[in-house]
Amino acid sequence: MMQFNFFLKLLKESFRDLIPIIVVILFFQLAIIQVVPDGWVNTAIGLAIVGVGLAIFLQGLEIGVFPVGEGLARDFAKSGWTTWILIFGFLIGFGTTIAEPALAVIADKAASISSGRIDATTLRFVVAGSVGFAILLGVFRIIKGHAIHYYIISGYLIVVTITFFAPPEIIGLSYDLGGVTTSTVTVPLVAALGIGLASNIKGRNPVIDGFGLIAFASLTPMIFVQIYGIAVYNLVDAKDVASVIVQATVSSPTDITFQSVLYGILAVIKDVIPIMAIILFFQYVVLKKPIQNLKTVILGFGLVIIGLYAFILGLEMGLFSLGETMAYQLTKRDSVFVIYAFAFAIGFSTTMAEPALMAIAKKAKDISDGKINDFALRLFVAVGVAIGIALGAFRIIDGGHIHYYIIVGYLVVIILTFIAPKYIIPIAYDSGGVTTSTVTVPLVAALGIGLATNIEGRSPLIDGFGLIAFASLFPMITVMLYGILTEKFGVKSDTQIEEEDLLHDNLADAENMELATVNIDGSSTRHSLSLEFSAVVVIVPVDKKLDAIQAAHKAGASGVTVLRADGIGLEEMANFYRTSFEANDTLLLFLLPKYLVNDVVKQIIHSLHITTSGKGIAFAFPLTHMKGVSLSKEDVFKEQSYQVNLNKEEKVDKNETNTKPSRSTK
């Protein structure tokens, strides 16, 4: 029942996230183009399937992919097998990328536009190898605890340097390949690996160290592909000298048949099989441990496959064809501002519906204790993608060189890296890789090629590529700005908010004798709270005074009042008034929250052996009307937790007593 309620929540959120796409399409189709699209029924049904598929996919991630990835990371971290962890990282990166459908499509197109210089299979191996190396390098960084920005900035410098030597035909392609290599299934698994390692390696912070693997996977293909392009364009002669004409074509809506559904599911299974094979090999052969909750994990991966297929099917049922048609129609209009507006709107709306981004945003919220709001993070990422695509469209229309835009963008990223709070930097770097996936790439690619084809003087081969690179770059900037704004406006984590709710100034209730008025962390501000206190009194010989104080401090006591005490036996005394008192004892008075009383008394009697061979007395009694005592925030929270648990136990005992059958009297 709990899982079903969780699914309903995801379903509601999925349809909420599709609203921007629907609004954008309706506005531009009816208000700007002023034509009712053909097959609008198919489009509506497709959007409904997208919403359901997205919810199923996200639930599969939660119960299958995330637990397996984090479990593997935890086991590897405990084993200390650094070499095996690095090999696992490489194989996960290589295996998931080599089977990426978007990579296969782009590799085939690259082979055709290069007149045979680029081999599609070789290009796929180059990209997959670069992603494998990226994950390996990212895992190494987490293990060693190095700051991520040194790696990323060095990578940017290498990319920019190589760009000046790479042939123009390869630059846009290499930038785009950096965005399409992180698939919808790969991103959650890689994120789980990074967060799992950072959570289980001593001295690592899952927020600062756990993210960043996706950023590495987006960066290295740009380097490796440009090196490969330099080699083939300088060392390999063209097999066929022919002009390649790229035209903006319009897809036709997909018809649903039993055969198409079967082939579609098998295609998704084929993409997931390399991931499953690598996981099973390392789980059972290397770690030699069974997967916990295997049935649930299998169900999770099954839901991922079904949800991802339904998601893709819904997009193909008219939405892709509608988007491509709109892109083609808008390029035929005279106003370039309409094109910019459409580029911005379509970038924003498709990113808000991106499943990989949803998964990363939810994980960022969880491990940041709510300081990073998942919806706000997605909003800033979507704005970054929208700005990037609009600027990329401007570049195509204006005819500028792509690397100048990219270089300036990287410089801004580097500057913000030294300004933004540390916890947001790895997430910002990762956001560039998760934004260009299942939803965004087809529509953005259609827009780029459509613009470059229909604008005089532009080459679809050189100018048509690059929009995906813009869509990957600008989210890094906007997410870092989001981090800067959260710090500037004092956005707090869930725990900090709870603290403020708990510790708000209630001096209006200071006269209420049922509340304790306390100072928090030694500050001058007083707070009236419902807390229970007790006094612990310890009478010990003078020479045991320090031992008793140290024992109480070890148990959590933060202060003590020390008094002189004289112990006198009254039975054999004839005249009480003429007795000469001799200071031979010390009285220690501790005023403590109730939850500390047992621990303090136990620690003192054990340390001084009061219940066996040692001398002394220890006792406690409850206090009321407590005013003016000083406590730490931790004391306040522990005392309130103690009272809550105590009330729960009392309720349980009371229920058990009421439900216990009574004995019948004879």
User: Among residues 286, 259, 153, 145, which one has the least CA distance to residue 215?
Assistant: 153
Distance of CA 528 to the CA centre of its chain: 38
Give the orientation angle of helix 320-331 with respect to helix 336-352, to 10 degrees. Answer: 160
Q: What does the block give as tokens for 354?
A: 């991106």
Cα 239 to Cα 567: distance, rounded to the nearest angstrom: 107
Q: Is 203 exposed, middle or buried, given 0-12, 13-18 or 19+ CB atoms closer than 10 A? A: exposed
Cα 419 to Cα 403: distance, rounded to the nearest angstrom: 25
State whether 394 and 444 are in the same domain: yes
What pLDDT is attached to residue 236?
A: 59
Tens-digit pLDDT profile for residues 515-529:
766 766 655 556 677
665 in any annotated domain: no
What pLDDT is attached to residue 241?
A: 36
Tens-digit pLDDT profile for residues 269-308:
877 787 788 888 888 888 888 887 788 888 888 888 888 7
Residue 133 has pLDDT above 90, yes or no: yes
State whether 80 and 141 are in the same domain: yes
Tens-digit pLDDT profile for residues 71-95:
777 787 777 777 888 888 898 888 7
State whether 473 and 530 are in the same domain: no
48 in any annotated domain: yes
661 in any annotated domain: no
**How many structural domains compose the chain?**
2
State whether 128 and 181 are in the same domain: yes
Report DSSP letters for 41-59, one per residue.
HHHHHHHHHHHHHHHHHHH
Least confident of 404-418, 435-449, 462-476: 435-449
The CATH number of the domain where 598 resides is what? 3.30.70.120
Tens-digit pLDDT profile for residues 358-391:
777 887 887 777 778 888 898 999 999 899 889 9
Most confident of 33-42, 104-113, 495-504: 33-42
Q: What is the mean pLDDT of residues 180-196?
A: 71
Least confident of 141-150, 169-178, 565-574: 565-574
Q: What is the mean pLDDT of residues 649-654?
A: 66
- Per-residue three-class SS string for 519-548: EECCCCCEEEECCCEEEEEEEEEHHHHHHH
Residues 6+ apart with CB under 8 A from 359: 58, 61, 187, 188, 191
State whether 609 and 635 are in the same domain: yes
Residue 242 has pLDDT above 50, yes or no: no
State whether 476 and 553 are in the same domain: no
State whether 443 and 525 are in the same domain: no
State whether 421 and 554 are in the same domain: no
Strands 627-631 and 516-520, bridge-based pairing: parallel
Contact assessment for residue 65 and residue 276, using Cβ atoms and an 8 Å cutoff: no
State whether 265 and 388 are in the same domain: yes
Cα 597 to Cα 536: distance, rounded to the nearest angstrom: 7
Q: What is the mean pLDDT of residues 128-145?
A: 89
State whether 486 and 512 are in the same domain: no
Kindly list the distances between the CA atom of residue 637 and the CA atoms of 315, 442, 531, 641, in Å, as whole numbers in the listed order.
Answer: 49, 51, 10, 6
Domain that holds residue 278: 2-239+255-492
State whether 151 and 37 are in the same domain: yes
